[in-house]
Amino acid sequence: MEPETFPEELADALVGVQRLIRRRLRPRMPDPRLRGAEVELLRLVVARPGVGISDAAKDLALAANSVSTLVNRLAGAGYLVRETDPADRRAARLLPTAAAEARLGEWRRLRAELVRRQVARLDEADRQALHAAIPALRKLADTLREEAEES
Taking each continuous run of H as one helix and of E as one strand, the counts in the chain are 6, 3
Is the pLDDT assigned to residue 36 strictly greater than 90? no
pLDDT at 127 over 90: yes
Q: How far apart are CA 25 and CA 125, in angstroms?
A: 27
Per-state percent for the chain, helix, strand, coil, to nearest 5: 70, 10, 20
Q: What is the mean pLDDT of the chain?
A: 91
Q: List, in sequence order, every residue forming a beta bridge with 94; answer none if it has no partner.
A: 51, 82
Task: List pLDDT tens digits, range 134-143.
Answer: 999 999 988 9
What proportion of the chain, given as a percentage, has pLDDT over 90? 68
Residues 46-51 have a mean pLDDT of: 95
Task: Please report which residue ranges of 26-123 form alpha helices under DSSP H.
Answer: 36-47, 53-60, 64-76, 98-120
Check residue 151 and give its pLDDT: 64
- Please give the C-alpha separations between residue 11 and each of 15, 55, 93, 108, in angstroms, as whole numbers: 6, 27, 34, 23
Q: Which amino acid, residue 148?
A: A
Q: Tell me the pTM.
A: 0.78
> CA-CA distance, 148 to 151, in Å (whole number)?
5
Band of pLDDT at residue 1, cut at 50, 70 and 90: low
Dihedral, 140, 103, 97, 149 alpha carbons, nearest 10: 10
Most confident of 3-17, 23-37, 124-138: 124-138
pLDDT top residue among 146 and 100: 100
